[in-house]
Amino acid sequence: MPALAPSAEQWQSLFTLYIIAAVIVGGAVFVMFFFFLVRYRRKPGGTEPTDAPRVGVMADRGNPALAAILTALLVSLFFGLTLNTFALNAYLQNPPNDPNALYIDVIGFQWGWRFVYPNGHEAIDELRVPVINGTCTSSVRGCWSGTVILDITSADVFHSFGIAVFKIKRDAIPGRVNQAWFVADKVGIPDTIPEYREAVRCYELCGTGHALMFADLLVLTGDNFRGWYNGR
């Protein structure tokens, strides 16, 4: 299924990059392993090479130039993956400066989630958000762009708020507010998009009801969300 949010798409791209790197490096290692296993195996009637490693004696053979090239390639690969990882982390942790973003307070409690909207209305274990709206700009008043910024905290013990389908997760800590954000690309409810059912979960053991601490996600069109929001 295609990604349901830009954050999930970015995460999947980085994950794919890691998989490709792992397959290439792992494949090269196995090819070299079997090549050397066959090429340098002891043949019937053969003798041990004079330069074979011996216990207590420093080995003095190899190709320094090849070793340097392989080291440079691995270091470049490592730094490339590291830079991409830090870039994704910065993207996920820093909400965009969007004047039409929807801010929602998220309070975790044993064992559920409370969502408080800017108009003061609350919802328990059900997160409703508007889908992305490309026509909503800073010059248009009374509309939501689709950017959702969550201010996350806890009313009791440590929790961890996460929406796996959007690849976001933040700790919910009493007395502290952590931010997360996302943009939903596809309209749907749990009945039409199964990934939205119980999409919001707690990812930190928080007591006997931890396994049941989840909330449904509903992504609505701008008009439907406005009707629900104003009709509360």
| The one-letter amino acid at 111 | W
The pLDDT of residue 202:
96
Residue 146 CA to residue 226 CA, distance in Å, equals: 12
Other beta carbons less than 10 A from residue 226's beta carbon: 15
Decide: residue 176, CB within 10 A, 0-12 exposed, 13-18 middle, 19+ buried.
exposed
Residue 18 CA to residue 13 CA, distance in Å, equals: 9
The pLDDT of residue 135:
65
Residue 12 CA to residue 167 CA, distance in Å, equals: 9
* 117 and 222 belong to one structural domain: yes
* 109 and 75 belong to one structural domain: no
* 222 and 124 belong to one structural domain: yes
* 141 and 83 belong to one structural domain: no
| The one-letter amino acid at 86 | F
The pLDDT of residue 200:
95
Other beta carbons less than 10 A from residue 140's beta carbon: 12
* 72 and 108 belong to one structural domain: no
Count the domains in the chain.
2
Length of the chain as a residue count: 232
| Structure-block tokens of residue 115 | 């969502």
For residue range 79-135, what is the model confidence (pLDDT) as tens digits?
A: 999 999 999 888 888 888 888 899 999 999 999 999 999 999 999 999 999 998 766
* 123 and 215 belong to one structural domain: yes
Residue 143 CA to residue 141 CA, distance in Å, equals: 6
The pLDDT of residue 140:
54
- With b for 16 or more beta-carbon neighbours within 10 A and e for fewer, the 96-132 pattern comes to eebebbbebebbbbbbbbebebeeeeebebebbbbbb
Nearest CA to 162 out of 122, 127, 118, 117 is that of 127
* 148 and 69 belong to one structural domain: no
Dihedral sign from CA coordinates of 140, 144, 148, 154? positive
The pLDDT of residue 100:
87
Q: Which DSSP letter does residue 85 get? A: H
Residues in the chain where the model's pLDDT stays below 70: 1-3, 51, 59-62, 134-142, 232
* 126 and 211 belong to one structural domain: yes
